[in-house]
Structure 1
Amino acid sequence: MQIAELELDEGGVLRPGPGSPPLTHGEVFVLVRRGGRPVGTLLGQVSEGADPKAVLMDLAARETAEAPAGPADPPAPTAMSTPIPTSMPIPTSMPTPTSMPTSMPTPVPSTTVVVATRERTEKLAHALDSLLAQDHPDFEILVVDNAPVTDSTRDLVERKYAERVRYVTEPVPGLAVAHNKGVEAAHGEVIAFTDDDVVADPRWLTELTAPFVVDPGLGCTTGLILPARLRTPAQVLLESHGGFAKGFTARTYDPHDPPADEPLFPFTAGRFGSGASMAFRAEVLRAVGGFDPATGAGTRARGGDDLYGFVRVLAAGHRLHYTPQALVWHHHRETWRDLETQAYGYGAGLTAYLTAILVNRPGLLPAFLARLPRGLAYARTLTASREAESSSGNTEGSPGNTGGTPGGHDDRTHAWPGRLSRLQRRGMLYGPVGYLRARHALRGAARSSGAG
């Protein structure tokens, strides 16, 4: 499946996604922009010999015509949170606190961008190139080399990026530990985080950090994450299961005014955003103690560090804002084995972060127990398996058995193999154990370091 961007203004401009080859015939996943701002996605089919721009502009025009008219800030249709829909209503306007014309200067705070990495220099170079192209006027980039086994990352930063990128090492493995190292070393009023396998849109950092100027009570922001590649069945299946996208409507979560449509708030932190596109007010993140070092990739907890950060900030009384204008393109894992590992890790990270929250904030236990029955029902829905709508001749659990074009993750009607469902649920059972083992390992490492 090809990736493309379609700008509706200025007569229409079609270009390949970042790093993608020129468009040809076949299926195309399209990010639709208006005035440079992401407003929706479409899935189009370009016939051999047809003009891709003409086909996709016509599809976008039909979807726009079918979109219901509404007020200046319309409610998001269900399809707005669908990463790969068969159709996507495109709103005529999507005003948010950060939706300013690109020609106008946007007030932004000084910012440190933290990129934790480990032995992935090729991907890291693409990420750093995109970060250095940001239009934010006052930011620094900090690379945290986590438990390196070679000097490749240091050599890349010193050779190619010299004074433009700061480099630090963190010998203890774990994403949260690496992020905390970045928090310690950051100079900015805001600390933004992204992964080493993304390509950031030029306005990503401006859009992600501008809300902090507008709202003094804001503790955290998150942004839109779309797939940079959909070349393998595993990548398509992950994106159909929700990927990392949270829709195209800006939203603010306020702990003093809990959302009526989120009965599990704030414990369904995965709905707020993901670690590949998040930022925190530095003083707020430091006040809550940063990230729990026993969570995250690279630890026995397997994940959950970003979700932990979101809930800690909300529990401290600060608001969280999601903005789809802050866009990064993420390179999903390519193989079926990777997807199996990811499914297990997602389950483990979910319950690991919940365990971490209750260990560090035991006062939240009554609220958690009150939401537990609904939470269990939500977890069953989240991990439910679904048979493919059409058979491809493969057995259950094979990467080709995706049932054709996947549907929306909010509807939960697309194919999701039983093996992945079982792996997620096993991960959920393991998560609390993994978190406690990770805490024990950290204490052991600290004792060894002190003895040394």
Structure 2
Amino acid sequence: MNQRGVQLISALVCTCNRGELVVDTVSSILANSHPNFELVVVDQSKNDKTETALKQFSSDQRFKYLKVSSVGKGRALNAGLSATNGEIIAITDDDCVVPPHWLETFASVFAAYPDVAVSFCRVEAGEHDSTAGFIPEYILDSDRMLTTIHDARGFRSLGAGIAVRRRMVENLGGFDPMLGPGSKFHDCDDRDIAMRALLANYHVYETSAIGVKHFGFRTWQDGRELARRNFLGIGAAYSKFVRCGRKDVIYIPAYEFIRFALWPPLRDLFCLRQPRGVVRITAFLTGFTEGLRAPLDKATMVFVDD
């Protein structure tokens, strides 16, 4: 608590080789209106460009810079959990900017719903040339509370706009170190923590009241590699259901595979078009198969760090 009795909230940004581009992210967070917050930046860069760019914020007592040698977003998120002090931790990516009321809105969500372990907000595409490529986004038209794993069928939220309750996430074993960009399985760190929260009888809340602006532009050619990474991570994360004997929810990876990987190219065939998205099928199956073989802590449903 500060002198006004407002509970501390933490903001967390994990970055890698972003250089000066992360400055806009940090500036937008430090411009937030919440009266009592801290910002921790976990840097996995292989050079000192990001550290140099962020030195301009070193005099701000709310700002903390942490350079780590680990690789992968899952590990960076866990380092951030250890380095932050707030019970609520709001997380965004290093190619995003947040609105001034971002922290206040997340704080109000967790205050209103004590059973919520994870919350997501909108992720809006920044300005870009839509003829040349795209920016991943997540559009929310209304708020939604997920109370069971069955509510998460087709769940598509993005980790560019996520907040977690520390106590509950620590009870879950933290973020999976094998998931996320740069990790063994290159995606699904965000969806995985939400799924494990629901399996532990915590709740997940999606709020449409706030949105971060995302500037992670990909060309259409980049999209194929992004899809491969996404579905590799999804397949690995969902393999945990089988490993942990959760027969009641095994239909969820089947649903995900059929709807988002198998059906799009089949639809193209039915319409006499060249099949698109076949990479999703192979990536999902690869991730699922490798996930079945990877060391796993079944008590927490977290892959064992190698």
TM-score norm. by structure 1 comes to: 0.59
Tell whether the 8 Å contact from 2:20 to 2:50 is kept in structure 1 after alignment. no
Cα distance in 2 for partners of 1:246, 1:382 equals: 22
Cα distance in 1 for partners of 2:29, 2:267 equals: 39
Report the AA paired with residue 158 of structure 1: K
Tell whether the 8 Å contact from 1:176 to 1:293 is kept in structure 2 after alignment. yes
Cα distance in 2 for partners of 1:151, 1:328 equals: 27
* Unmatched tracts of structure 1, length 5 or more: 1-106, 259-263, 388-415, 446-452
Choose from 212, 215, 218 the match for 1:331.
Answer: 215
Cα distance in 1 for partners of 2:305, 2:192 equals: 23
1:38 is matched with none
Q: CA deviation at 1:335?
A: 2.1
2:278 is matched with 422
Secondary structure at 2:78's aligned position in 1? helix
* Residue correspondence of structure 1 range 100-111 to structure 2 within 5 A: 109-111=7-9
Cα distance in 1 for partners of 2:305, 2:235 equals: 23
Kindly indicate whether residue 101 of structure 2 is the aligned counterpart of residue 203 of structure 1. yes
Cα distance in 2 for partners of 1:183, 1:417 equals: 46
Q: CA deviation at 1:370?
A: 4.5
Report the AA paired with residue 288 of structure 2: P
Larger radius of gyration: 1
Cα distance in 2 for partners of 1:316, 1:376 equals: 24
Cα distance in 2 for partners of 1:266, 1:358 equals: 17
Deviations 1:105-163 (A, max 9, x none): xx9742111100011022211111111111122211100012x2112222222234433
Give the 3 Å change call, closer, same or farther, for CA 321–433 of structure 1 in structure 2.
same
Give the 3 Å change call, closer, same or farther, for CA 196–327 of structure 1 in structure 2.
same
Cα distance in 1 for partners of 2:281, 2:51 equals: 39
TM-score norm. by structure 2 comes to: 0.85
Q: CA deviation at 1:437?
A: 7.8
Choose from 174, 180, 190 the match for 2:72.
Answer: 174
**Range moving further from structure 2, 158-167 or 183-192:** 158-167
Cα distance in 2 for partners of 1:144, 1:153 equals: 10
Report the AA paired with residue 199 of structure 1: V
Q: CA deviation at 1:218?
A: 1.4
* Residue correspondence of structure 1 range 357-376 to structure 2 within 5 A: 358-359=242-243, 362-363=244-245, 365-371=246-252, 374-376=255-257
Report the AA paired with residue 367 of structure 1: D
Cα distance in 1 for partners of 2:38, 2:274 equals: 43
* Unmatched tracts of structure 2, length 5 or more: 297-302
Choose from 160, 183, 189 the match for 1:276.
Answer: 160
Tell whether the 8 Å contact from 1:111 to 1:189 is kept in structure 2 after alignment. yes
Cα distance in 2 for partners of 1:324, 1:436 equals: 36
* Residue correspondence of structure 1 range 182-331 to structure 2 within 5 A: 182-236=80-134, 243-255=136-148, 264-266=150-152, 268-270=154-156, 273-331=157-215
Tell whether the 8 Å contact from 1:135 to 1:206 is kept in structure 2 after alignment. yes
Tell me which of the two structures has the higher relative contact order, counting C-alpha pairs closer than 8 angstroms and 6 or more residues apart: 2
2:299 is matched with none
1:57 is matched with none
Cα distance in 2 for partners of 1:185, 1:250 equals: 30
Report the AA paired with residue 16 of structure 2: R
Tell whether the 8 Å contact from 2:71 to 2:182 is kept in structure 1 after alignment. yes
Cα distance in 1 for partners of 2:166, 2:72 equals: 21
Deviations 1:383-441 (A, max 9, x none): 44777xxxxxxxxxxxxxxxxxxxxxxxxxxxx9844x11222211221345468769x
Secondary structure at 2:218's aligned position in 1? coil
1:56 is matched with none
Q: CA deviation at 1:229?
A: 2.3
Q: CA deviation at 1:184?
A: 1.1
Cα distance in 1 for partners of 2:278, 2:251 equals: 26
Cα distance in 2 for partners of 1:187, 1:435 equals: 33
Report the AA paired with residue 152 of structure 2: P
Tell whether the 8 Å contact from 2:128 to 2:217 is kept in structure 1 after alignment. no
Secondary structure at 1:156's aligned position in 2? helix
Q: CA deviation at 1:318?
A: 1.1
Percent of paired sites with the same residue: 25
Choose from 248, 260, 272 the match for 1:379.
Answer: 260
Tell whether the 8 Å contact from 2:20 to 2:53 is kept in structure 1 after alignment. no
Deviations 1:353-409 (A, max 9, x none): 1124554xx14x21123556544432346644777xxxxxxxxxxxxxxxxxxxxxx
Kindly indicate whether residue 18 of structure 2 is the aligned counterpart of residue 162 of structure 1. no
Tell whether the 8 Å contact from 1:299 to 1:438 is kept in structure 2 after alignment. no
Kindly indicate whether residue 38 of structure 2 is the aligned counterpart of residue 140 of structure 1. yes
Tell whether the 8 Å contact from 1:223 to 1:327 is kept in structure 2 after alignment. yes
Choose from 239, 252, 269 the match for 1:355.
Answer: 239
Secondary structure at 1:187's aligned position in 2? coil
Cα distance in 1 for partners of 2:13, 2:267 equals: 36
